[in-house]
Structure formats: structure tokens, C-alpha cells
Structure 1
Amino acid sequence: MMNKKNEVVCFGEILWDVLPGQELPGGAPMNVTYHLSKLGRKATLISRLGNDERGIALRKIFEDKGIDTSFVQVDALHKTSIVLATPNEAGDMKYDIVEDVAWDYIEKQPDHETLISQSRYFVFGSLAMRNKGSRDTLLALMELPCTKVLDINLRAPFINKEHITYLLRKADIVKMNEEELGLVTGWYGDYIGIEEKMQLLQHRFNIETLIVTRGAKGAAIKHQDHSYLHDGFKVQVADTIGSGDSFLAAFLSKFMENKNVDAALTFACKVGAFVATKKGGCPDYDVSEIDRTNIICSIPD
């Protein structure tokens, strides 16, 4: 294998999660980049910030956390993105994603080709397809030689069957939650049970590794012709922002070592549960805290 200078490149939204009483940094690609870095992996983010106070503050926060911001562009015309996040009684979040913001206009740069071609994984989300500016850039970068990781985030009204179908056909690894799995498979017929739905998507789109997160119920994976299941971990939830993103980061951080799916799945569930005990998508923590936290393996009913 060629020597990879950078292990993972993430592409897409960077923003402020505006919660009741506070604003926290986030955006799925940013969260994945952050947690990969916390787990000792070299990760880089391609995104775009407004030339405003929120943008300046975000860049400083990420630089202070040791995140490479050299591929985060500055937009003189569009504002830094915000998402209005409202928790329900269970701690799950409802999102109102403001449109026409800086990350909708990520421009392709000449050094992107070298960056991605010399990396092992290229991670991108479906939200980056909502605007032609970033969409055209993403479609061009997806043609570069690299393992492609699709993180599906179906947030109304940004759900486009044609776009999702195209991304599924291009991706080597796909992560979605159980609700999103039901929505996507519902486009093709009436399927019952998570195993049947996952098998449909894997075969229809020739996906090597399909990951479905199930909240407190853990996660399921179909890798090649094998199925894997973890029942999850019980924790005291602070909020679920970034939990799925930290899951993906943790899975990739272990999977790239030796492609042991069981070990990667267990570690991902553990990290995702741990992050759910914290506030926001990019909480401060030491990796040693993960093993010290009161995380109890769930027992199926």
C-alpha cells in the first residue's frame, strides 16, 4: 500500500448548533473530523465559513483543538451556517438547518486532488448535495481514487431520491440510522425487518460495508456477505448531537487497522454512547475517559 500522508478527508458542513441557552460547534463532517483526531487519526476537513464573527470563532475553536483548518475556505458573501437544534424529552434532537450559507458554496481547489488521492478514506454526507455549488465540487472529488464513505443525513426538506441514489452507487461504506434505512428502502418496496432492508440496499447498490445505527439499541453492519450486530451500551444521555458522527469516526479508526468488523463495531458503539453523555457534537474529553465512564452493555429484552 502506498504511504498515505493523511488518513481521512471529510467534506461538507461546518456550523454552530444553536441550542436553548447556548451555541456549540458542529456539523456532521466536522464532528467526524474532530473525533478521528481525538482518537489519534490524521483527519482533514474541506468546508467553508463565512467572513463573520461566527466563522472566526469556529476556526479558532478548531485550531485550538488541533484540527487542520487549512482546507476550510472563507466566503465573503455568505454567512457561517447555524442549525437550530431543539431536544425532545428523550434527548433526541430536531434540527432546523438554515439555507444559503457558506458551506453550500465549497469550491474545488487544485490541491484537493492530491489531498484526497493520498488519503485512505473520503467521508462525505448527503446534505452537501443540497446546493449546486458544493454539489458540483463533491461530485468531482468523488471521482478521485479513495475509499468513499457516505454518511446519510436525511433532514427535511433536503431529501432528494436522485441524489441519494447516485451517492449510494458511488460509496464503498455507507452509514445511516434505522429511520433513514426505512425511508430509503421504502422507495423500492415494502420490506420488513432490518436484515431484509439492509440486504436490499447492499445488493442493489453493491455496497461493501453498510452500517445502520439504532440509537440505544446499538448498531448493525453488513460487510461483504457477513452480518454483525451489537446491542449497544446504556448511558445517562445528555444529548445525542454528534453521537452518530463519533460512532462513524470510531468505526473507521479501528476498521482501518485490520478490518476486524466485530472489534470496530463494539468500539464504535462504546464511543457513540460515551459522546451521548456529553453536550454537543465536539465535546472536550480525554480518550482515557471512554473506558472510565459508566457504560453498561445492554441486554436484549
Structure 2
Amino acid sequence: MAIAAARLGLNCVSIGHVGKEIYGNFLSDVLRDEGIGMVGMSTNDDTVSCSGASYETLLCWVLVDPLQRHGFCSRADFSKDPAFNWLNKMSREAKLAIKNSKVLFCNGYGFDDFSPGLLLSVVDCAVEVGTSIFFDPGPRGKSLSSGTQEQQRALNQFLRMSDVLLLTSDEAESLTGIGDPILAGQELLKRGIRTKWVIVKMGLKGSILITSSSIACAPAFKVNIVDSVGCGDSFVAAIAYGFIHKLPMVNTLAFANAVGAATAMGCGAGRNVASLEKVVDILRSSSFHEDREFWTDILEKKVIDQEVTCLSNIVMNGNRNHVNFIPFDKVASELLPKLEFPQTVENVPT
């Protein structure tokens, strides 16, 4: 996520733990080359009291089958405790990094690294200093919701205190018991205290952004999919860009879909995620999977009291079935100048 965000022009730091072995050095080098800062979670007391394998960088193996379905495996999957369970509190540097940030992104895999208590302190810190929290529970959300009391408490706190929630339709259903993605998103909004946006990722169909008063949706772009690993995190980077720059919601979704699609055209995550040039090329192509029947069917029952916008390749005047279709050419004409401009001038940190 950080690499994709940095390539979009956002000023990023990564907060976590990296060991001093070959893998940790490699990761530190990659982040530095991408212009991303690294802030350690551990304090001096933690560093002194811990050594050996539990201090080493957590490696994650990404398993992909011929149908492009993927799973993740690390040493945390073979232990009841998080990999860095010895970390008891955040470092002063980590707290300062959160305070100086506009957005803090966390996902469910963070529970593989850190204890629920430490993650709760991260949430409390961000809330206290007014930093917006983005949370993507991912596949871990389902197991955490039936995990230990500490895991359930931390998960519920993330779901209630995050400003933006990002989930697939399956993940939204597993956390709410509601199969309809819009109704599930609205339920998560009701449960939230600070929640402003709930974004449901619909795979090849596109994505939906739900607020208390409006719904926006955007179809996915047509690209040659090589590998879907990293698409979700790249998508989040663009959502953060739109949130920070206060872009219209449908513009933000179109941008995020394009970034996710650009990553899908490459192989693997990390440094193989989307480049800004690829994203611009996709936005210029205006070729996406527009299933008007699908979107009309999924939206028409939920628009009584809400403003609904949907990205479309077809130029239409006014509303149809209470849905306001926004021409893609209009959205692209507003997005492209913002994205092409940083290529010609010095990047200014956001």
C-alpha cells in the first residue's frame, strides 16, 4: 500500500518492526528507494529484552493457484501468539508519525504481527491526535470475529473507530451476516462511531462507496489480468489519495479501480504494484466492464432517501431510476490533470 501511495505522490512512512537480517535489510532498502520512511514500533527496552527468531522480520509467502486465487502464509499461522508479541507499547517515534499523518492505514494481518492490546493503543493514539483511520479487515476479519476476547475487542474497536472501512463483498457479509453489499455497508456505518465511508470491493464488477447520505459506484476497468496479488492494497492507496484531496466520491472510486487494475497487469506486489504512468494510461482508455443491469438491480431498491451516482461510458442527461449516471469522460477530464501535473514539477509532500 505504501509503495502504491508514494507513487501517486503521497508522502508515506511505514510503521512496524523490521529485523536486522538479510530480509529486513532488503525491505529497508526497498522502502528507502521508493521514498518511504521507516518508523520502528519497538522501544529500547523491547530491543534489549528480545533476540533471536522472534526479533527477525516476519516473512509472508504468497500462494497463487492457476485460477489466480491467492492465500498468505507466515510463521504467525503456526503460533497462537503474534510474531512480535514481545512488543508491549508504541515507541515515541511511532506516536509522532501517527500525529503527523493525515491517514493511518491498518489491516487484519496486523494481528499476525502485534498483540490486540498494542493495536488498540494504535487506534487510541490516532483518535486522540485526529488522524483518520483506514481499516481493511481482509480475510482475517472472519477469524478475528470468533477469536479470543482480546481479538474481538480490538477488531470491534477498529470497525467502530475507523473513518474509512474497506472490505470485499464476502468480508462485509461475514462481519454483518448481510449478503447485499450495500445493506451490509449501511449496517457497518450504523455500528461505527467515526465511520464516514464504507467501501465494498466487488472484484471484476467494480466498487461501491457508501456514506450515511449517498452511494457511489464505479465499474472495473478491462485489462489483461496477470496477477491479482496487491490489487486491494493498491486500491486503498488511491482511496487515501481521494480522501485527502477531497475528490468527488465517484472520481475516487474510478481512480482506485484504475490503480488496482494497473497492479493486476503485473506479477506480484511490492515494487511490482502500479506505476503512475500505467494508471494514467488506463484512465485514458475508458474501457471498463459496464454491466448496467447489474448496477441498476443492486441499486434500485436502496435509493429512496439517498443520492446515488454511478460511473458510465454512456452520456446521459438527468437521472434514470433514481440513479445519476456520471459520464466517464467527465471524470477522466477532472482526474488526469491532477495526476499528470506531478510528473512535471517537484513532488510536494501531502
- Which category of TM-score, normalised to the shorter sequence, fits these structures? 0.7 to 0.9
CA distance in structure 1 between the aligned counterparts of 2:138 and 2:97, rounded to whole angstroms: 25
Which residue is 1:43 aligned to?
12
Note the alpha carbon deviations across 1:251-300, whole angstroms, 9 max, x for none: 11122112411111100001101101111222166412223256731021
Contact map agreement 1:86 1:94 (CA 8 A) in 2: yes
Contact map agreement 2:229 2:268 (CA 8 A) in 1: yes
Which residue is 2:138 aligned to?
153
Q: CA deviation at 1:67?
A: 1.5
CA distance in structure 1 between the aligned counterparts of 2:163 and 2:141, rounded to whole angstroms: 25
In terms of fraction of residues, the more strand-rich structure is 1
Contact map agreement 2:235 2:260 (CA 8 A) in 1: yes
SS of 2:244 mapped into structure 1: helix
Contact map agreement 1:51 1:76 (CA 8 A) in 2: no
SS of 2:119 mapped into structure 1: helix
CA distance in structure 2 between the aligned counterparts of 1:67 and 1:275, rounded to whole angstroms: 19
Q: CA deviation at 1:182?
A: 1.0
CA distance in structure 1 between the aligned counterparts of 2:252 and 2:181, rounded to whole angstroms: 20
Instruction: Rate the CA distance shift 1:106–1:125 in 2: closer, same or farther, 3 A.
Output: farther
Note the alpha carbon deviations across 1:118-166, whole angstroms, 9 max, x for none: 3211211233235427435424434432111112122388523523222
Match for residue 98 of structure 1 among 72, 75, 79: 75
SS of 1:49 mapped into structure 2: coil
* 2:156 is equivalent to residue 165 of structure 1: yes
Q: CA deviation at 1:228?
A: 0.8
Q: Which runs of 5+ in 1 are unaligned?
A: 1-31
Paired AA for residue 178 in structure 1: S
TM-score by length of 1: 0.79
CA distance in structure 2 between the aligned counterparts of 1:104 and 1:215, rounded to whole angstroms: 37
* 2:68 is equivalent to residue 84 of structure 1: no
* 2:248 is equivalent to residue 260 of structure 1: yes
SS of 2:245 mapped into structure 1: helix
Higher RCO (C-alpha 8 Å, min separation 6): 1
* Equivalent runs, 1:25-44 vs 2, <5 Å: 32-44=1-13
Aligned length: 266
In terms of fraction of residues, the more helix-rich structure is 2
SS of 1:262 mapped into structure 2: helix
CA distance in structure 1 between the aligned counterparts of 2:138 and 2:66, rounded to whole angstroms: 22
Paired AA for residue 291 in structure 1: V
Note the alpha carbon deviations across 1:65-99, whole angstroms, 9 max, x for none: 22212447687432211222221233121222321
Residue range with higher mean Cα deviation, 278-287 or 50-59: 278-287
CA distance in structure 2 between the aligned counterparts of 1:285 and 1:157, rounded to whole angstroms: 29
TM-score by length of 2: 0.69
- Percent identity between matched residues is 18
Q: Which runs of 5+ in 2 are unaligned?
A: 77-81, 147-151, 294-350
Which residue is 2:346 aligned to?
none
CA distance in structure 2 between the aligned counterparts of 1:168 and 1:156, rounded to whole angstroms: 10
* 2:125 is equivalent to residue 141 of structure 1: yes
CA distance in structure 2 between the aligned counterparts of 1:38 and 1:107, rounded to whole angstroms: 31
Match for residue 21 of structure 2 among 48, 52, 62: 52
* 2:234 is equivalent to residue 226 of structure 1: no
Paired AA for residue 231 in structure 1: P
* 2:95 is equivalent to residue 113 of structure 1: yes
RMSD: 2.5
Contact map agreement 2:176 2:187 (CA 8 A) in 1: yes
SS of 2:269 mapped into structure 1: coil
CA distance in structure 2 between the aligned counterparts of 1:201 and 1:157, rounded to whole angstroms: 15
Contact map agreement 1:150 1:171 (CA 8 A) in 2: yes
CA distance in structure 2 between the aligned counterparts of 1:181 and 1:49, rounded to whole angstroms: 31
Note the alpha carbon deviations across 1:178-230, whole angstroms, 9 max, x for none: 111110012xxxx3421211111111224210011111111111023101111
SS of 2:60 mapped into structure 1: strand
Residue range with higher mean Cα deviation, 225-234 or 116-125: 116-125
Residue range with higher mean Cα deviation, 200-209 or 237-246: 200-209
